[in-house]
Amino acid sequence: MSREDTPTAHIAAQYDDVAKTVIMCGDPLRAKFIAEKYLTDPVLFNEVRGMLGYTGYYKGKRVSVMGHGMGIPSIGIYSYELFNFFDVESIIRVGTAGALSPDMQIGDMLFAQAACTDSDYGHQYGFPAKFAPIASFELLEKAAQVARENGFPFQVGNIYSADVFYDESDRQMEWGKFGVKAVEMEAAGLYINAAATGKKALTICTISDQLVHRKYASTEERRSSFTNMMKVALEIA
């Protein structure tokens, strides 16, 4: 698998169009914004299903940025194709999360060291028991260093990758009792695909909702914390 399998079903690009490091975010228009604001000479490589992907340069490094949609099945497809067919080495997801820990503030960054999930995505790989999806320590260490150097507030810890946003069971808060800091919907799928291919992955989330205290980010808080998160992702790319 690789070069001869590109373009893929969901990424209409040639093998060389995609950089070996891809920064991904849920919203494809956010990917467009990142490419246009932060990358030099961005070139569009995909618009299948509107899932925009661009390759350009950041401080001379070749980097791609692409949307991944919402949920594990969606990031599962894109990260599978990028790792397996485009030989991408690292995927850094930047997104938002809801805090399950009372001590995470709106705007704080969380580097997801590991991801719990009740999704069955990993079933396909036939693990002999429950698998613990984890981030690349190399990317995690670099991210913490960049955040520290820039004075960005951050925490490192466990995240919960849910399959549902509107949780009728209302049980997601129970993860907080086990030190799980926040909930989002993609990290576990990304980490499982990275493990299956021997590649690197990291999820960086900014807290947009404080679910314990029922507080939600203002537009300005979303904007400034997004800028910090992008700086970290681009520096470690």
Do the beta carbons of residue 154 and residue 105 sit within 8 Å? Answer: no
193 counts as binding ligand HPA under rule CB under 6 A:
no
Task: Find the part of the chain contacting ligand HPA (CB under 6 A) among 13-21, 27-35, 47-55, 208-216.
Answer: 208-216
SS3 state of residue 134: strand
Where are the strands (E) in the chain, listed by range?
A: 21-25, 40-46, 53-58, 61-67, 90-99, 109-117, 154-161, 182-184, 200-210, 215-216
Do the beta carbons of residue 228 and residue 94 sit within 8 Å? Answer: no
| Residue closer to ligand HPA (CB basis): 98 or 133 | 98
98 counts as binding ligand HPA under rule CB under 6 A:
yes
| Residue closer to ligand HPA (CB basis): 141 or 209 | 209
| Residue closer to ligand HPA (CB basis): 113 or 208 | 208
CB atoms within 10 A of CB 213: 12
109 counts as binding ligand HPA under rule CB under 6 A:
no
Q: Does the annotation count 209 as an active-site position?
A: yes
Q: Which of 51, 143, 183, 233 binds ligand HPA (CB under 6 A)?
A: 183
Q: Which residue of this chain has its Cβ atom nearest to ligand HPA in the complex?
A: 98
Q: C-alpha 119: how far from its chain's center?
A: 17
Q: Which of 87, 89, 209, 235 binds ligand HPA (CB under 6 A)?
A: 209
Task: Find the part of the chain contacting ligand HPA (CB under 6 A) among 51-59, 74-82, 145-153, 179-187.
Answer: 179-187
SS3 state of residue 219: helix
185 counts as binding ligand HPA under rule CB under 6 A:
yes
Question: Which two three-digit tokens encode residue 149?
Answer: 């150097």
| Residue closer to ligand HPA (CB basis): 103 or 170 | 170
For residues 156 and 154, give the distance between their C-alpha atoms in angstroms, rounded to a whole number: 7
Residues between 148 and 177 with contacts to ligand HPA, criterion CB under 6 A: 162, 165
Do the beta carbons of residue 15 and residue 1 sit within 8 Å? Answer: no
| Residue closer to ligand HPA (CB basis): 142 or 222 | 222
Q: By CB neighbour count within 10 A (0-12 exposed, 13-18 middle, 19+ buried), where does 117 fall?
A: buried
Residue among 27, 87, 167, 209 flagged as catalytic? 209
Query: Which residues make up the interface to ligand HPA (CB under 6 A)?
Result: 96-98, 162, 165, 183-185, 208-209, 211
Instruction: Give the catalytic positions in this structure.
Output: 209
